Structure 1
Amino acid sequence: MGQNYDAATNVVDNQNLLEELGLSTDSLVQEIGVDDDVDDALRDALDEQLAEPLLDEDEQEVVDAVLLWFREGEDDLTEALMDALTTLEEDGVVWLMTPRPGRDGAVAPVEIQDAATDAGLHVTSSAGVSADWSATRLVHRKSWS
Structure 2
Amino acid sequence: MVAAADAQNYAEKLGIAHGMVVQELGWDEDVHDDLRADVEQAIGGEIVDEDSDEVIDVVLLWWRDEDGDLVDALMDAIGSLADDGFVWVLTPKTGQPGHVEPSEIAESAPTAGLTQTSAINLGTWAGSRLVQPKAPTKQR
Task: Report how many residues are paired.
Answer: 133
Matched, 1:33 2:26: yes
Report the identity percentage.
Answer: 44
- Tell me which amino acid in the other structure corresponds to 1:42: L
| Aligned match of 1:44 | 37
Give the 3-state SS of the residue equivalent to 1:37 in structure 2. coil
State the match for 1:3 in structure 2: none
Structure 2: which amino acid aligns with 1:135? G
- The aligned amino acid for 1:141 is P
Shift of 1:89: 0.4
Offset of residue 18 of structure 1 = 2.9
Q: Which has the higher contact order (CA 8 A, sep 6+)?
A: 1
* Superposed structure 1 runs of 4+ greater than 6 Å apart: none
| Shift, 1:19, TM fit | 2.5
Please list the CA deviations of residues 102-124 of structure 1 after superposition, one character each: whole Å capped at 9, or x if unmatched. Answer: 11111111110111010000110
TM-score of the aligned structures, taking structure 2 as reference length: 0.87
Q: Which runs of 5+ in 2 are unaligned?
A: none
How far did residue 52 of structure 1 move? 2.3
Aligned to 2:87: 94
SS at match of 1:111: helix
Structure 1 unaligned runs (5+)? 1-5, 7-12
What TM-score results when the alignment is normalised by the length of structure 1?
0.84
- The Cα shift of 1:20 comes to 1.3
Instruction: Name the CA distance, whole Å, in 2 between partners of 1:107 and 1:78.
Output: 13
Question: What is the aligned partner in structure 2 of residue 122 from structure 1?
Answer: 115
Contact 1:14 1:45 in 2 (8 A): no
Shift of 1:16: 3.5
Q: In terms of Rg, which structure is larger?
A: 2
Instruction: Give CA-to-partner distance per residue, 1:40-99, whole Å, 9 cap, x none.
Output: 111112112212210011112111000000100212000000000011101101000000
CA distance in 1, matches of 2:135, 2:99: 31
Separation in 2 of the partners of 1:48 and 1:104? 28
Q: 1:21 and 2:46 equivalent?
A: no
